[in-house]
Structure 1
Amino acid sequence: MKKQSTLIVSIILLIVFVIFALLNTATVKVNLLFGTVKTPLVLLILICMLIGALIIYLLSLTNRLKVTKELKALRESKVSPKEVAKLRQQIDRLQKENAQLKKTPTSVQPASAHPAESSQPAKSSQP
């Protein structure tokens, strides 16, 4: 489906360009730094469009090269087996610690400062 839509858009753009070329067949005089050139207007417009497309391509190429280099560096950077073993040991240690914490009671009663004291009122020895 994508190839068909690309083909249709390409054909439409080609037809538009041909119509544009047939409407702009006049010869124009272009003054350059080194002299004057007579060329058909459509050719001049086409050359200017191609130069613009080339400039855009070159500017995007530097960005694409940077991203490709970064991607290559990320693909090459792998975790060493020593680091993997170290991280697995850390996981095992944390899992054991977690299991021990699950075994301990969750609410611990604080010990009173004086075990002889009780919360009940003291009995008076008087009748």
Structure 2
Amino acid sequence: MKKQWTTIVAIILMVIVSFFAISNMENVPVNFMFKTVTWPLIMVILGSLLLGALIAVLISTGSMYRNRKQIKQSERKVVDIQAKSKEDLDQNRKEMQQMMESQLRDKNEKIAALEEEIRQLKGTAKM
């Protein structure tokens, strides 16, 4: 359905351009600084239109290239930051794990010492 609408719009535009071309067939002088030529007005208008479109495409291509380059640089920065963040998280996790294991050993040693003290107290209480 979309292609049909595109075709219809293209046909309408061609009809409009054809009427425009027929109504602008007069010859006009065009001065190129070093030479003056006479062309039909429609050729001058269409030539100007095409030249303007070409300039617009060239300008937009340059800015599009810069935008793509900037996007790639930004994506690289994001990847680098994510990698650094992951490294930092891994390092923090290792440090926390070591600290927790150390605290666990200390608590286990304290529990063992208290259990030994309880055994000794029970042994002296029986006597």
Instruction: Using structure 2 for the length normalisation, give the TM-score.
Output: 0.60
Amino acid at match of 2:31: N
TM-align CA RMSD? 2.5
Task: Give the distance between the partners of 1:24 and 1:64, measured in 2 at CA.
Answer: 37
Alignment correspondent of 1:102:
none
Q: CA 1:50–1:62 in structure 2 vs 1: closer, same or farther (change >3 Å)? A: same
For each residue in 1:51-71, what CA deviation from the matched residue of structure 2 results, as whole angstroms up to 9, or x when unmatched?
111121122122111111112
- 5+ unaligned residues in a row in structure 1: which ranges? 94-127
Task: Give the distance between the partners of 1:73 and 1:40, measured in 2 at CA.
Answer: 50
Amino acid at match of 1:57: V
Alignment correspondent of 1:72:
72
- 5+ unaligned residues in a row in structure 2: which ranges? 97-127
Alignment correspondent of 1:6:
6
Deviation for aligned residue 1:22: 1.0
Task: Give the distance between the partners of 1:17 and 1:85, measured in 2 at CA.
Answer: 64
Alignment correspondent of 1:44:
44
Bigger mean CA deviation after superposition, 82-91 or 69-78: 82-91
Q: CA 1:75–1:4 in structure 2 vs 1: closer, same or farther (change >3 Å)? A: farther
Task: Give the distance between the partners of 1:75 and 1:82, measured in 2 at CA.
Answer: 14
Q: How many residues align?
A: 93
Task: Give the distance between the partners of 2:63 and 2:11, measured in 1 at CA.
Answer: 31
Alignment correspondent of 1:23:
23
Identity %: 38
| Local SS of the residue matching 1:29 | strand
| Correspondence list, 1:58-69, <5 A | 58-69=58-69
